[in-house]
């Protein structure tokens, strides 16, 4: 079987552009953007932390959409369904990666800004629960037997998608009843215009990077699927030869 190249020309251009964007955005964030008034240089983690959080909230939609396509195509067009499944698992893994980065950088920031690593604040808790949901999705994929992994995972993805809005709502209610201790900072109070270019470039750079990872993981999963099909085909052929 001839192996397809991992990087096509588009992929190579994308990779170079992504690297350039990351370098430029990091330079803007670390060196060019003005120092934040109350937190000083430490607040520059904003340019890394917030884009990752935003993207960690975006990739679950990709996973959910791909899972719906999988369930729709499952009987009608199994080959297309497999591509949808490859998108779904890639998106789920990147959700976990970005979510982990968001949580870890958030903790670092929280330790310096609030003096604590963690607080059961609404946004932190919701993010943690989202992360838990997608880790459990990956666990299911790991533990289920080969023939049915795709379907079971797609079903769980639908459950997760319904769960997420309920989680966000309930956590908000929970926290309004038991108000969290001092909760200062956070970019919600509005970003100064001078910080906007650095922030925008960082969102763009890490989005490009996420899509690149998604495409690489998708290619990997497609290769794995093709190899599986090849093996199954060979097994069938071998059994036919035996019968003759």
Give the integer Cα–Cα distance in Å for 41 and 33. 10
173 or 184: CB nearest another protein: 173
36 or 163: CB nearest another protein: 163
Minimum distance from residue 177 beta carbon to another protein (Å): 6
91 or 133: CB nearest another protein: 133
127 neighbors 59 (Cβ within 8 angstroms): no
117 or 159: CB nearest another protein: 159
Please give the structure tokens belonging to residue 19: 């690297």
Minimum distance from residue 173 beta carbon to another protein (Å): 6
Binding site for another protein (CB under 8 A): 71, 74, 129, 132-133, 135-137, 139-140, 143-145, 147-148, 151-152, 155-156, 158-160, 162-163, 166-167, 169-171, 173-174, 177
Minimum distance from residue 52 beta carbon to another protein (Å): 21
């Amino acid at each position: 079987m001839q192996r397809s190249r991992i990087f096509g020309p588009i992929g190579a251009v994308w990779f170079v552009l992504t690297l350039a964007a990351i370098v430029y955005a990091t330079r803007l964030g670390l060196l060019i953007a003005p120092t934040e008034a109350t937190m000083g240089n430490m607040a520059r983690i904003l340019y890394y932390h917030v884009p990752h959080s935003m993207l960690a909230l975006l990739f679950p939609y990709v996973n959910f959409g791909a899972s719906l396509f999988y369930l729709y195509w499952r009987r009608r067009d199994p080959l297309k369904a497999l591509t949808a499944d490859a998108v779904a698992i890639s998106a789920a893994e990147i959700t976990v990666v970005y979510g982990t980065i968001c949580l870890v950088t958030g903790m670092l920031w929280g330790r310096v800004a609030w003096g604590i690593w963690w607080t059961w604040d609404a946004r932190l808790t919701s993010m943690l629960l989202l992360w838990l949901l997608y880790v459990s999705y990956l666990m299911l994929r790991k533990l289920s037997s080969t023939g049915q992994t795709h379907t079971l995972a797609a079903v769980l993805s639908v459950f997760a998608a319904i769960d997420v809005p309920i989680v966000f709502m309930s956590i908000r209610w929970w926290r309004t009843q038991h108000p969290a201790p001092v909760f200062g900072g956070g970019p919600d109070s509005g970003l100064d215009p001078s910080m906007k270019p650095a922030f925008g470039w960082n969102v763009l750079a890490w989005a490009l990077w996420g899509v690149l990872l998604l495409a690489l993981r998708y290619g990997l999963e497609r290769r794995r699927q093709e190899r599986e099909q090849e093996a199954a085909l060979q097994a069938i052929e071998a059994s036919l030869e035996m019968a003759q």
